Amino acid sequence: MYIIGIDGGGTRTVGILTTETGERLAQVESGPSNYHVVGEVETQVVLENVINELREKAGIPSTEAIGFCLGMAGLGRAEDKKIIGEICDRLGISENRILTHDAHIALVGGTEKQHGVIVISGTGAIVYGINADGKEARANGWGYLLGDEGSGYDIAIKGLRAVVRAADGRGGSTDLTNRILNALKLDAADELIRWTHAVSRDTIAELSKVVFDAARSSDTIAEQIIDDATDELACAASSVMKQLVFDGTFDIVLSGGNLVHQPMFAEKLRRQFARLAPNASVHLPTHDPAYGAVLLAQARL
C-alpha cells in the first residue's frame, strides 16, 4: 500500500506520496485548501488536484490502494471532520483514511513519535500534546481576537501599539517607531490607522520580523514584547504538560516560522523549558507536517 500525507493549510497545501515504508516518491504544493478560507468547492478541487498530481508523478494508477492522512486546521471538531469527510467520500477516499488537525501532524512529523508536545508560533499560536496513553490536550490557539498570544500577529500588534503609545507620550520612546514606519514606507504614526484597517492579519503578522530585529538591537520595549511572547508560550505549554502528566523523558518540538527562523526566540523558550520540563528533549522539527501525516498513516492504518 502507498501512502499520501497532506498538510491542508489556509495559505498553501503540501502533499507527499510515499511507499509503505516511508520512501518519498512524489511531493507537490498547491494553493490553500482550508474550506473556512476558500470554501468547500475549492477545497475539493485543490485536494483532488494534489492527489492526482501525486499519483501521476509517482506513476501510481488510480486503482492502486492508498493510505490517506489529511491534517487541516479545525479537523479536531466534529462538524469540520464531517464536511471534509464528505469531500473525501466524493473523491473516492472512504477507506484507509485519517482526518485530523494540523497540530497533530506537525507534532508527529516534528518528533517522529506518536506522543509529545508541539509549540507552534507562526501567524497564530497553539500548543498541542498527546501522551503515551493517547490523551490529548491543547492550549492557546483561540484566534487573534481571543488569544494566539506568542504568535507573529500578537508580537506585531504589540509592536504597533508601542509605536502609537510612544507617539502619544503614553509609552517610552522606541526604535520600533522608525523601524516600522520605514518598513511600511509611512511618514507618521497616525498613518498606521489607515494601514492596519486595509491589510490582512497575515500582513500585520509579518511585522513581527521588525520587532525581532529591534529586540536584537537591544531596544528595551521590543525586548519586553519578545519576553512576554516567550512567557505566554511557556505558560500554554505548562498547561498542556500538567494535563497530560508525562512520565520520564518526552519531546517538545518548537515549530512555526517564528521559532524556526528566529533563533533568539527559540533559545529563550528553551531556557524556560530547562526549568519547567527538565526531562524534556527540546528541538526543532525533524520533518515537515505533510510527512508527519505519512508517519501517522504508517502507525495507524
Burial of 118 (0-12, 13-18, 19+ CB in 10 A): buried
User: What percent of the chain stands above pLDDT 70?
Assistant: 100
Looking at the fold, whether 55 and 162 belong to one and the same domain comes out as no
Does the pTM exceed 0.75? yes
Q: For 188-197, what is the mean pLDDT?
A: 96
pLDDT value for 82 = 92
Of 55-69, 118-132, 201-215, least confident by mean pLDDT is 55-69
pLDDT value for 74 = 78
Burial of 185 (0-12, 13-18, 19+ CB in 10 A): exposed
The CATH number assigned to the domain holding 26 equals 3.30.420.40
Confidence class of residue 143 from pLDDT cuts 50, 70 and 90? confident
pLDDT value for 78 = 87
Tens of pLDDT, residues 244-269: 999 889 999 999 999 999 999 999 99
Looking at the fold, whether 108 and 168 belong to one and the same domain comes out as no
Domain that holds residue 173: 114-284
Looking at the fold, whether 136 and 45 belong to one and the same domain comes out as no
**How many domains does the chain contain in total?**
2
Round the average pLDDT of the chain to a whole number and report it: 94
Q: For 77-90, what is the mean pLDDT?
A: 91
Question: Between 259 and 64, whose confidence is greater?
Answer: 259
Looking at the fold, whether 149 and 295 belong to one and the same domain comes out as no
3-class secondary structure, 244: helix
| pLDDT higher than threshold 90 for residue 129 | yes
3-class secondary structure, 116: strand
